[in-house]
């Protein structure tokens, strides 16, 4: 059973703060690491799919890095806005694209 | 933007009854998935489906569960005799390719409550 862990479980920040959180996963037999943004009562929205060690991806104010050798990925949000409030999920993909999810980091941005 | 749609949004069923959860994946996608999230727990993989066959399934996906693509648009999850522990949010997802580098597009989910 793969163990994908995310920390912290929840995070409260002020509008304008930059923040980051962690996803850790087993480093052996790595295929892909997915990040999703999940707002309450909506569907999880794909942010990034990362496959190469050292990968960095960016989408607006959100970026992610990947270290497959040590088994972690960071998600960064620059200048958090209230609309960034959501649960951020990471998931490890296997060869057949079966996803194993972490528990998520719930981000709350106060205006 | 095309999206995955799921119906119903909430299903309440008596224990022991059969339930069918429905999904319409994105029209040009070929790979389909079901996941579930029991309240307070992680999202868990149930099954993946391609070319009218199950590609991969988890230990959760036992004989009580089945999937079907009855026509060109729908993808269904059937639970034959529901148990209390089947209460969860069930998510359908689809992707254009089956490779691990392909993002999966999720529906809004069906909340299944077993009484």
Query: Are residues A75 and A35 in contact, defined by beta-carbon separation less than 8 angstroms?
Result: yes
Q: Mutation target for A interface from B23, B30, B43: give the one with most A CBs within 10 A.
A: B43
Mean pLDDT over A31-60 rounds to: 95
Cβ contact B100–A31 (<8 Å):
yes
Does the pLDDT of residue B44 top 80, yes or no? Answer: yes
A11 SS3 class: strand
Cβ contact A97–B42 (<8 Å):
no
In chain B, which residue's Cα lies nearest the Cα of A91? B43
Q: How far apart are CA B58 and CA B46, in angstroms?
A: 5
Burial of B30 (0-12, 13-18, 19+ CB in 10 A): middle
Phi, psi of A83 (to 5 degrees): -70, -10
Q: Taking the C-alpha atoms of B62, A94, B30 and A38 in order, what is their torsion angle to the nearest 10 degrees?
A: 90
Contacts of A45 in chain B (CB under 8 A): 106
Residue of B43, B98, B105 lying closest to A46 (CB–CB)? B105
Residue A38: predicted pLDDT: 96
Confidence of residue A40 (pLDDT cuts 50, 70, 90): confident
Cβ contact B48–A102 (<8 Å):
no
A98 SS3 class: coil
Mean pLDDT over A13-38 rounds to: 96
CA of A78 to nearest chain B CA: how many angstroms apart?
23
Residue A8: predicted pLDDT: 97
Residue A102: predicted pLDDT: 97
Query: Are residues B25 and B32 in contact, defined by beta-carbon separation less than 8 angstroms?
Result: yes
Side-chain-side CA neighbours of B108 within 13 Å: the count stands at: 10
Confidence of residue B108 (pLDDT cuts 50, 70, 90): very high
Q: How far apart are CA B94 and CA B73, in angstroms?
A: 12
Confidence of residue A97 (pLDDT cuts 50, 70, 90): confident
Contact residues for A7 (Cβ-Cβ < 8 A; gap 6+): A21, A22, A24, A105
pLDDT tens digits along B52-87: 999 999 999 999 999 999 887 899 999 999 999 999
Confidence of residue A47 (pLDDT cuts 50, 70, 90): very high
In chain A, which residue's Cα lies nearest the Cα of B104? A46
Q: Where are the beta strands (DSSP E) in chain A?
A: 5-7, 10-14, 19-24, 32-38, 45-50, 56-59, 62-67, 72-77, 86-93, 99-101, 105-110
């Amino acid at each position: 059973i793969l163990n994908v862990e995310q920390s912290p479980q929840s995070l409260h920040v002020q509008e304008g703060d930059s923040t980051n959180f962690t996803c850790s996963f087993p480093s052996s037999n790595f295929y892909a690491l997915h990040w999703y943004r999940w707002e309450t009562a909506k569907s999880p929205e794909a942010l990034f799919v990362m496959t190469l060690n050292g990968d960095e991806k960016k989408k607006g104010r959100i970026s992610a890095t990947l270290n497959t050798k040590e088994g972690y990925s960071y998600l960064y949000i620059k200048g958090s806005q209230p609309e960034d409030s959501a649960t951020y999920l990471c998931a490890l993909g296997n060869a057949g694209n079966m996803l194993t999810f972490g528990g998520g980091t719930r981000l709350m941005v106060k205006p | 933007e095309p999206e995955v749609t799921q119906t119903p949004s909430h299903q309440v069923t008596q224990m022991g009854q059969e339930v069918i959860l429905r999904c319409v994946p994105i029209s040009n996608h070929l790979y389909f998935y079901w996941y579930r999230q029991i309240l307070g727990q992680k999202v868990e993989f149930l099954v993946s489906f391609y070319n009218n066959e199950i590609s991969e399934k988890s230990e959760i996906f036992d004989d009580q569960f089945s999937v079907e693509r009855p026509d060109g648009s729908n993808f269904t999850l059937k639970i034959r005799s529901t148990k209390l522990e089947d209460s969860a949010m069930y998510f359908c997802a689809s992707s254009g390719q089956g490779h691990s580098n392909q993002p999966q597009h999720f529906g809004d989910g069906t909340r299944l409550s077993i009484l």
